Amino acid sequence: MPQATEPTRNPDLELTVSAPAHGGHFIARHEGRVVFVRHALPGERVRARVTEGTPDAGFWRADTVEVLEASPHRVQHPWRPADALLAAQTGQPPVGGAEFGHIALDEQRSLKAAIFEEQLRRLAGVERRVSVEPADANDDGGLGWRTRAAFAVDSSGRLAMNAHRSDQLIPVDVMPLAVPAINELRLWELDLGPVSRVEVAAPANGSAPLVLLVPAPGASPRRLGAIAERIPSPASVAVWDPEQQQLTRLRGRTWVAESCGGHEYRVTGEGFWQIHRAAPQVLTQAVLAGVKPQPGQRVADLYAGAGLFTAPLAAAVGNSGTVLSVEGSPGTSRDARKNLHGMPQVEIVQGKVERVLHRHHGGLDAVVLDPPRAGAGRKVVEQLHNKGPGVVGYVACDPASFARDLGYFLELGWQLQDLRVFDLYPNTHHMESFALLVRA
Ligand SMILES: C[S@@+](CC[C@H](N)C(=O)[O-])C[C@H]1O[C@@H](n2cnc3c(N)ncnc32)[C@H](O)[C@@H]1O
């Protein structure tokens, strides 16, 4: 998308905002053209600054800088650097990552439900009412839930985050969406000069956090070591070089110890683990209650990560059953192998799901899949169909790719038996879902 040219002539527009759109925007029109406005609410009249919009573009993007007529659902944003209205006063864009913070939590869930319903209608041809469930009863205003946080470092060595769809870095300190263990590290007090990115994982079970320092070009081991010394114990500290895929321990361990439902998991480096502190439990319970794995069954856990669902599936099918657990990332798959080594009914396979299913001979009784944001795609859906399972439990973090894949299942004669949507990313536009599909 080319950078805005129009804003220099006409920086601000007065817009009447209508429906929510997938991706954290709201729809408005200006002289017939669609404008995707952030930090607004349906029914509001706002002044918005165009952030992307060439004169010949089909649509523009804009950030709200002033509310002229407010929605009753508008609230004070809980995080200053992400508050678009405050940021506009300083001439800065807001940081990304809390783009629904100006919306009352109940209304965030209503909007997410409407967005999910629209994706189902448009991409799967399914008319269905959706309600979005809170992650847990103690939602604490949608704060303090992120057990993972990634930060940039600005040119002065300060902890920072990116503005939405931008290289612009904005210094940050306390991140209210993160669990207290992340903020207690007070990373914003450090001179992070030799570092380009910092990634933090702080398990919900209270075990030691892990801080990953991604070095800036030319960073010396001595300066990286000096940063590690200033990070409070008992956090582990490691250097992660994504180019070389190399993880070097500076202090403590190179992994965190997660737990869920009586199972223990190690997750190394930047390996995948569900972000919301309650997500592992919420999703595992949804998967088990929906798929109902039985002793002796042949089950697959696809896009399995470190084995969050594999372990309880294996416990349910027992020694007379089998679980094929497929994960693409070599590091995370090594974790899965360690995490599940005591369960002989589990076969851990590292590789892309589409290739592993192509090679795999034999049928399946039930499948759980939890693909990344892009979804599974038509080929994987067809491969699964041909394996003969009676049920598929589909965990999804993107309603659009899920709805597209659901359409493929429906074309093959499957039925959507149950659908649950969870608010596992409060104060952002993201959501997580679990769908139970049954063969007709
Ligand atoms: C959303 S995560 C789910 C992990 C796990 N189910 C959990 O809840 O912890 C998706 C996982 O799929 C892996 N992945 C992405 N594309 C893949 C592919 N084509 N084949 C296999 N694994 C893939 C990623 O490395 C990531 O671990």
Which tens digits make up the pLDDT trace of 165-215?
888 999 999 999 999 999 999 999 999 999 999 999 999 999 999 999 999
Task: Output the pLDDT for position 92.
Answer: 85
Q: Is the pLDDT of residue 1 over 70?
A: no
Considering only 2-11, 336-345, 425-434, which range has the smallest mean pLDDT?
Answer: 2-11
Q: Is the pLDDT of residue 257 over 60?
A: yes
Q: Is the pLDDT of residue 315 over 90?
A: yes
Amino acid identity, position 48: A
Considering only 6-10, 167-171, 346-350, which range has the smallest mean pLDDT?
Answer: 6-10
Task: Output the pLDDT for position 139.
Answer: 79
- CA of 310 from ligand 1 middle (Å) equals 12
Q: Pick the closest to residue 399 from 430, 425, 368, 428 (CA basis).
A: 430
Q: Please indicate whether residue 397 is annotated as part of the active site.
A: yes
CB half-sphere exposure, 327, CA atoms < 13 A: 24
Task: Output the pLDDT for position 2.
Answer: 39
- Please state, in angstroms and rounded to a whole number, the distance separating the CA atoms of residues 71 and 107: 11
Average pLDDT on 406-434 reads 98
- Please state, in angstroms and rounded to a whole number, the distance separating the CA atoms of residues 94 and 102: 12
Q: Is the pLDDT of residue 5 over 60?
A: no
Average pLDDT on 248-261 reads 97
- CA of 326 from ligand 1 middle (Å) equals 8
> For 21-52, how does the pLDDT look when each residue is reduced to its tens digit (9 = 90+)?
999 999 999 999 999 999 999 999 999 999 89
pLDDT grade for 10, boundaries at 50, 70 and 90 = low
Which residue ranges form the domains of the chain, and what is each CATH number? 6-106 (2.40.50.140), 148-202+209-252 (2.40.50.1070), 276-439 (3.40.50.150)
- CA of 383 from ligand 1 middle (Å) equals 17
The residue with greater pLDDT, 12 or 139, is: 12
Q: Cβ(37)–Cβ(17) under 8 Å?
A: yes
Angle between helices 399-411 and 105-119 (to 10 degrees): 30
Q: Is 76 annotated as a binding residue?
A: no
pLDDT, averaged across the chain: 95
pLDDT grade for 164, boundaries at 50, 70 and 90 = confident
Q: Is 425 annotated as a binding residue?
A: no
pLDDT grade for 115, boundaries at 50, 70 and 90 = very high
Top mutation candidate among 272, 309, 398 for ligand 1, by most atoms within 8 Å of CB: 272
Q: Over pLDDT 70: what percentage of the chain?
A: 98
> For 42-93, how does the pLDDT look when each residue is reduced to its tens digit (9 = 90+)?
999 999 999 898 989 999 999 999 999 999 999 999 999 999 999 999 888 8
Q: Pick the closest to residue 324 from 365, 381, 289, 284 (CA basis).
A: 365
Task: Output the pLDDT for position 440.
Answer: 86
Q: Is 191 annotated as a binding residue?
A: no
Average pLDDT on 344-365 reads 96
- Please state, in angstroms and rounded to a whole number, the distance separating the CA atoms of residues 220 and 104: 46
Indicate the pTM of the whole model: 0.95
Query: Which is catalytic among the residues 28, 132, 348, 397?
Result: 397
